Every structure is written in C-alpha cells, then in structure tokens.
Structure 1
Amino acid sequence: MVKQERAARTRRALIQAAAEVFAQEGFVPASLSAISERAGVSNGALHFHFANKRMLAEAVEAEAAETLRRITEAARARQTNSLQWVVDATHELMDFLARDVVVRGGFELAADAARRAESPLRGQWQGWVEDALRTAERRGTLAEGVSWTDGACVIIAATTGFEVLGGTDAAWLARRNVTRLWELLLPRLADGQGLAALASAGSRPPTAAL
C-alpha cells in the first residue's frame, strides 16, 4: 500500500510539473529532464510512469478533461435553466484556468499547433455548450429570433478568447470580466420572462474543488 501511494504521488507530481512546463514553454521545447527536475524525481522514475513526452501530455489533457467534466456536470446538476448552466460553468472554468496548472496546461496543449495532435478539451467544451443551447431552444428559453447555433457560436468564441488571453494575462480570467460578458450576452440570448431569474455573476461563489 505504501509503495502504491508513493507511486501515485510521483505520478501526480510528474503530471503537475509537466503541466507547468507545457504551459510555460509549449510542448515541443519542453524537455523531460526539465519536467523530472521540477517534479523532484529522477529521469528513471519519470520513464517508469511515462514512456515519452507524448504520454505525459496525454495524461495532462486527460486530467484537465476530467476536471472540465466535473465542472459541467456540477453546473447542470444544481440548476434547471440551461442558460444558467453555461453561465455557472463558464465562471468555474475560468476560475480553474486561473488557479489550476493542470487545467491551464491542458488547454495550452490544446492550442499548441506545433504538437500536431488532436486535443479533446476544446471539443469537449464546445459540445457541452452546444448541447446546453439546444436544450434552451427546446425548452423555449431563448429569445425570439435567436437559434441555439447562434448562441453557441458566440459563447464558444468569447470563452475561447478569455482562455487564450488568460494564458498571458490572468486578469482576463477575473470573475468581474466573466460577469460583464454575461451581463452583455444574456439580455440578447434569454427570453424576456426568464431573464430576471438568471445570475450573470453565477448562481453561487467559485468553489475550491469539485
């Protein structure tokens, strides 16, 4: 049991260190020696857990994708209005991008064209937003003349912009900026009767963990 726990800690430290290096340097320039040094483990220990840099990148992305899944599932579970799902999930995602290096590193890998790999993260977010907007349209909670495709397109473009800009300036990810985005978008997206019930600042404060 002690050996297994030590192995789990080492793997976790390597994923954390890899996310930091990938976020700072990009996938191609990142070296395994820099990752192992940052994790405080030997190169041999790194290769015991991950045969190569590609596998480390996949592990970072997988952990980031799992966090994103928890964010979106939690938003859906605590609200009935699907537009509020998206508002809440956007706030949570930007909060995690600002403070969780694995989520940040996962999205940096997704944006790294030099890696030449298909990342699941942005597609996962896009698919979930599109599903939420389809639900809003089906339930009649979108404003007249707004289709789910229109709404999803604008939301995905805006949130991707925050994510990219936040990679070099974390101020973009501040809660006040995300709130302002929704203050501008919701009056155009939501039907008049439902608008008053929507909270641009999110339906609850940011969580420390999910």
Structure 2
Amino acid sequence: MRATVELIANGRLADAGLVNICRSAGVSRGALYHHFPSIAELVAEVHAQAQGRVLALADDSFADGGADAPARFSVALGKALTDDQLVRAGLRLAPDGSDTPPRLREAMLDRVRAEVLTEAPERPDQKVLADLAVVVTAGLESLGYTDTAWWSRESTERIWDMLLPLFKEAG
C-alpha cells in the first residue's frame, strides 16, 4: 500500500505499475499478489482509505455549520494534502482504482457544494456561493500540485478572508 500511495501521490497512476510497486516496496510479484489479487484492487483500496480520511475532514469541518465551514474544510484539506500522501493519491482515483471520473476529487467537491447549499437553500444566491466554494476548493487543490504553498494555511486563509463576508452576508 505504502509504495503504491507514494508512486501515485508523487507522480501519476501510470507510475503505479506492477514493476514499480514491487521495486519500491521491495517485494516480489508473488508477495504483492498474495495480498491483492490485482493492481486495480490495490489502487481501489488506496481510494477507499483516502475516501475515509477525506470524509472525516468534511464531517469535522461542516459539523458545526456556519458560513466559515467551507474555509475550515479548505484549510483542513490543504494540511492533509501537504502531510498525507494517501489523501494526495486518493483524490486522483475512482472507486474502481482507475483515474477516470468520478474520482474522489469530484465526490469531495460535490460534498462541499451540498454543504454550502444546506446552509440557506431557499436563497437564490446560495447556489452561486456553493459554486464559489467549489471553485476555490478545487483551485487551491489543483494549484498545490505545482506549488505546495497553495495548500498552506496562510494562502488558504488569505483567500477565504476575502470571501467570507459574502458567505456571512448570505447566511
């Protein structure tokens, strides 16, 4: 698992082939297949474990509600992306172990949108705020792959400090 996570988190799914995983993990093909019947099932397990961590972040961030919940989630996600290779790898994966949509990334963004919409569902501008929360979260996540400073608390809070008045005004 560890080797697969590292290969995906620091590269791409194509880097997590049988030879690379076995070499990185220091195990034989037989040992790998003893634990996982296929590479697809191994990668699907990476997705499943990452999904648990991302859902826990979302649950914690949105538990108390409030206009600043999307900001709390963005900060928590940035920290997880910085510190946790499993989350970084898992966001790129679909439940079947592929990198085709719907990936964990899309599920996470759908959750952000749904949470913002539940704050004030009757307000027409709430849909715009939900879209804004998704765009900011997706943008920070994407930009961080080329410059991890985007995942920092400082960068995330700086952006959300500009946006929070809009969310508080709508709430």
TM-score range, shorter chain: 0.7 to 0.9
CA deviations on 1:149-169 (whole Å, 9 max, x unpaired) are: 211211111211111121122
Matched, 1:174 2:152: yes
Distance 2:102 2:6 in 1: 18
CA distance in 1, matches of 2:2, 2:76: 20
C-alpha displacement of 1:93:
0.9
The AA in structure 1 aligned to 2:60 is: A
Q: Deviations over 1:28-72 (max 9, x none)?
A: 243222212322332212111222222222111111111011111
Aligned partner of 2:91 among 107, 120, 126? 107
Partners of 1:174 and 1:116 in 2: how far apart?
Answer: 26
1:21–1:163 CA distance, 2 compared to 1 (3 A): same
| Deviation for aligned residue 1:86 | 1.7
In the alignment of these two chains, the number of paired residues is 168
Q: Which residue of 2 aligns with 1:25?
A: 11
Which of 155, 160, 165 is the equivalent residue of 2:133?
155
Change beyond 3 A, Cα 1:96–1:23:
same
1:121-140, Cα deviation, whole Å (9 max, x unpaired): 123212221222122214x8
TM-score by length of 1: 0.71
Q: Evaluate the alpha carbon distance shift between residue 136 and residue 97 of structure 1 in structure 2; reply closer, same or farther with a 3 A threshold.
A: same
- What is the alpha-carbon distance in structure 1 between the residues aligned to residue 135 and residue 62 of structure 2? 21
Q: What is aligned with 1:130?
A: 113
Please report the TM-score for the alignment, with normalisation by the length of structure 2.
Answer: 0.85
* d(CA) in 2 for partners of 1:74, 1:170: 23
Stretches of structure 2 lacking an aligned partner (at least 5 in a row)? none
Task: Tell whether 2:44 aligns with 1:58.
Answer: yes
User: Structure 1: which 5+ runs fail to align?
Assistant: 1-14, 195-210
Letter aligned with residue 188 of structure 1: L
How many Å separate the matches in 2 of 1:32 and 1:56?
10
Partner of 2:91: helix, strand, or coil? helix
Return the offset for 1:23.
2.5
Q: Distance in 1 between matches of 2:50 and 2:78?
A: 13
| Alignment of 1:164 onto 2:164 | no
Q: Which residue of 2 aligns with 1:92?
A: 76
Q: Give the counterpart letter for 1:123 in structure 2.
A: E
AA aligned opposite 1:152: A
**What's the C-alpha RMSD, in Å, of the aligned pairs?**
2.2
SS at match of 2:82: helix
Contact 2:112-2:130 within 8 A present in 1 as well: yes
Provide the identity percentage.
29
Q: If you compute each CA radius of gyration, which structure gives the higher value, 1 or 2?
A: 1
Matched with 1:44 is 30
2:51 and 2:99 map into 1 onto residues whose CA distance is 19
